[in-house]
Amino acid sequence: MPRAALFDVGGTLLHPLGDRAAQRKVVLSRLEQRFGPRDWYAALLDADLLSELLVDDPAEPLRQRTLAVLRRWLEGRGAPLDGIDLDELRRRAEVPREAWAVLAPGARDALVWLRSRGLRVVLVSNTLWTGDDELRADLPSLGIDDVVDAVVTSHSVGFRKPHHAIFERAVELAHTSPHEAFMVGDEPYADVVGPKRIGMRAIWLRLPPPRPHAVGAPRDLRAEPDATIGSLAEIPEVVERWLHRA
């Protein structure tokens, strides 16, 4: 019987919103206000640090060491680190979610329905700059802080989806076991393959094409979700069936 629902964040619960150029200006201003003028801020925001994360540990491409990669990037450009706390730099480089995202249609209703059935809700997100504390702090402005029990980010765990560690942490926070939890997400590699490997159910939110190929996903990927939905409004129908089978 399902006791916990895990949700991907970007692309699943949240949809992009706003002017990217304006958001960039906000971040540049935040960085300059805290650390003073530096000639590398713009280059940092343009850098493909995600790709660098994937080659940071060749033996484990899903390992995430954000601060180590950030330090290496800065040192590679001869950027002086005087007066800079790397963890604070990471936080300042993040765009607050209320500035770039809006809740997907049906998102809050789905979470409320799950909580009404006694399920715990945990958000599980691959992030670059965002840690658990920052994601949790964003929830009130998104209007879902009262229907989310816990959050897990790849930055804080140190591994990206579909690595088992991030899902095991989420299940632990939900106080349940993998076979009593399910994952909802829009990315087959991250949100279907990973959960299934540890015995969880997976619901694939199949969004309209075109869909970019996920970074790091094998080209011959085969993902077999337990259910496929076209919108979050379909979640109650799927979960109700599972509850009745218990």
Among left, alpha and beta (phi > 0; psi -120 to 50; other), residue 63 is beta
For the domain bounded by 4-17+98-245, which CATH number is listed?
3.40.50.1000
The predicted-structure confidence for 184-211, as pLDDT tens digits, reads as follows 999 999 999 999 999 999 999 998 876 6
- Kindly report the pTM of this predicted structure: 0.94
> What is the mean predicted confidence (pLDDT) over 224-232?
97
pLDDT tier, 215 (very low <50, low <70, confident <90, very high otherwise):
low
Contact between 93 and 41 under an 8 Å Cβ cutoff? The reply is no
Whether the pLDDT of residue 176 is over 90: the answer is yes
Residue 107 — pLDDT band, cuts 50, 70, 90?
A: very high
CA proximity to 15, closest of 140, 186, 170, 146: 186
- d(C-alpha 122, C-alpha 150), whole Å: 5
How distant is the alpha carbon of residue 124 from its chain centre?
A: 5
Rg (alpha carbons) of the chain, rounded to whole number: 19
